[in-house]
Amino acid sequence: DAKTTQPPSMDCAEGRAANLPCNHSTISGNEYVYWYRQIHSQGPQYIIHGLKNNETNEMASLIITEDRKSSTLILPHATLRDTAVYYCIVTPSGSARQLTFGSGTQLTVLP
């Protein structure tokens, strides 16, 4: 799996958009970008994934650059409950592979 690089921590004001970057410069053509988050002492929660097009769901938006070497997860209106560690994971498609977690970004939403 391609390696990902994320900032170790970020702060965001409640109600503002949280933009979490991820660098995956060695991504290959068949690899998807997945985002998960882990609230303290809970299992990871799936957020969103994409291949090359931007994606949006009820939780977040995923913006993938045209060269696919980086992406940004956007939480449009962050709340205190969005405080968590956010993991960006790159993994090939078409197989039931395990996910490899890096160190992630600790997002703290401030009141």
Partner 1 sequence: GAVVSQHPSRVICKSGTSVKIECRSLDFQATTMFWYRQFPKQSLMLMATSNEGSKATYEQGVEKDKFLINHASLTLSTLTVTSAHPEDSSFYICSAREGRGNTEAFFGQGTRLTVV
7 lies in the binding site for partner 1 (CB under 8 A):
no
Q: Tell which one of 29, 42, 66, 81 touches partner 1 (CB under 8 A).
A: 42
Q: Tell which one of 34, 68, 71, 86 touches partner 1 (CB under 8 A).
A: 34
Q: What is the DSSP string of 13-60?
A: ETTS-EEEEEE-TT--TTEEEEEEEE-TTS--EEEEEESSS-EE-SS-
Q: Rounded to whole angstroms, how far apart are CA atoms 68 and 31?
A: 10
53 lies in the binding site for partner 1 (CB under 8 A):
no
Other Cβ atoms within 10 Å of 90 Cβ, number: 23
Are 21 and 35 in contact by the 8 Å Cβ rule? The answer is no
- Binding part of the chain for partner 1, among 5-13, 14-22, 39-47, 67-75 by CB under 8 A, reads 39-47
13 lies in the binding site for partner 1 (CB under 8 A):
no
Q: Rounded to whole angstroms, how far apart are CA atoms 21 and 37?
A: 14
Number of residues that bind partner 1 (CB under 8 A): 23
5 lies in the binding site for partner 1 (CB under 8 A):
no
Beta bridge partners of 90: 33
- Binding part of the chain for partner 1, among 8-16, 65-73, 74-82, 92-100 by CB under 8 A, reads 92-100
Q: Cβ of residue 27: shortest distance to partner 1, in angstroms?
A: 14
